[in-house]
Amino acid sequence: MTDQWTVQRSGRATRVASTGLVAFGIALFAVPFLFRTDVVQQLTTLCTLIIMAVMWNVLAGYGGLVSVGQQAFIGFGAYGTVFLAQRDVHPYLAVVLASIASAVLAVALAPLLLRLRGGQFAVGTWVVAEALALLIALDEDLGGGTGVSLRGLNAFAPDWRRAYTYWLTLAFTLLLLLLVFLLLRRRSGAAIQAIRDDEEAAASLGVRVGPLKFVLFVLAGFGCGAAGALTLANTLFIQPQSIFGVQWSAYMLFMVLVGGIGTYEGPILGAVLFFLLQDWFAQFGAWYLIGLGAVAIAFALFLPRGLWSLADDRLPFRLLPVGYSLRPAR
């Protein structure tokens, strides 16, 4: 490179910062011993939002697969947990198994949906979500349209139940963040972004487009299924129209766009901001969604690269680098 610019991925400062973040993530397991149970429950909600944002970002922000139907996996994970718990599977084991079942569902749907592109893919995922919601609503064993509770967790004392749910949610969050980091850090990360930018050009250069899109789709299905199952464990009650609602896609889109689409750290920051705005706007009733929409429009107009760009442009090093960047030489 020239004397003014250099290509970087990471350095000593990055390694120190990354180690600090890993230590912070591990330290979060002590939260139930330090804070009230309502704080623990709120942090559980925040972790599920982070999972959703990161999964939608890896699918759309990195892979170019814009989905408005990820609520299909959110709802499937939640109702899969209920289905297994009704058959005497331990509720927390049911959460894990339902998350894996969501990945299996993604494997089954991939040959059909991944044939679609652009708007067709988005509509296709939405149709799948609506079809699953209709099937669940017709199943009386799963509560039909009135909803169902996860009664198995009532065997735990409320404080311990919230603690166990938080620990499981945090473990899923850290696992999925690690999987996404490793996927994007390898050569597959550059290949995935090449598919996003121009699928035909990427294929002509030898990129294995089909397998990589399949991996992204299944990973996002697994993560969103886990988020749905953990949401149920946190709230103990679900209804088809809410857990399969298209509002989940709107929330994911908001978090990713506000935080910074196509960045590793952006969706995490966007999830934190959405969590805070959700709590603040909720007091305004019907103006809740209007307020969120106004914030999203403001970011699209005045900060299209998201909040993370403000920090990324000013930091002398990359915090959690998954690719290379052009930086001024010191």
pLDDT confidence band for 312 (50 / 70 / 90)? confident
Are residues 46 and 271 in contact, defined by beta-carbon separation less than 8 angstroms?
Answer: yes
Q: What is the secondary structure of 176-189 as a DSSP string?
A: HHHHHHHHHHSHHH
Q: Could you tell me how many helices (H) and strands (E) the chain has, helices first?
A: 15, 4
pLDDT surpassing 70 at residue 9? no
β-pair partners for 297: none
* pLDDT at site 77: 95
Helix (H, G, I), strand (E, B), or coil: what is residue 209? helix
Q: Specify the DSSP element, H or E, that contains 80.
A: helix 71-85
Q: How many of the other CB atoms lie within 10 Å of CB of 87?
A: 7
CA 308, distance to chain mean position in Å, is: 17
Instruction: Name 244's Cβ contacts closer than 8 Å, sequence gap at least 6.
Output: 71, 72, 74, 75, 129, 130, 132, 133, 136
Of 94, 98, 82, the closest CA to residue 136 belongs to: 82
pLDDT of 123 strictly over 70: yes
Instruction: Domain of residue 207: give its range.
Output: 5-328
Per-residue pLDDT of 142-193, as tens digits, reads 888 888 888 888 888 889 999 999 999 999 999 999 999 889 888 888 888 8
Among 90-94, 195-199, 282-286, the minimum mean pLDDT is found in 282-286
Query: Which of 132, 220, 224, 170 is closest to 27 using CA atoms?
Result: 170
Q: Is the dihedral of CA 295, 272, 267, 95 positive or negative?
A: negative
- Report residue 1's pLDDT band, with 50, 70 and 90 as the boundaries: very low
Pull the structure tokens for residue 146: 């009135």
pLDDT at 12: 65
Q: 293: domain CATH number?
A: 1.10.3470
List, for residues 66-113, the tens digit of each pLDDT value. Answer: 999 999 999 999 999 999 999 989 999 999 999 999 999 999 999 999
What total of structural domains would you count in the chain?
1
Measured distance CA(230)–CA(248) in Å, rounded: 14
Indicate whether 330 pLDDT > 60: no
DSSP conformational letter for 65: -
Give the residue with greater pLDDT, 128 vs 297: 128
- What pLDDT shows up at residue 286? 65
Q: Whole-number mean pLDDT of the chain?
A: 87
% of the chain surpassing 70 pLDDT: 90
Query: Looking at residues 19-43, what average pLDDT do you find?
Result: 88
Neighbours of 120 (CB within 10 A): 11
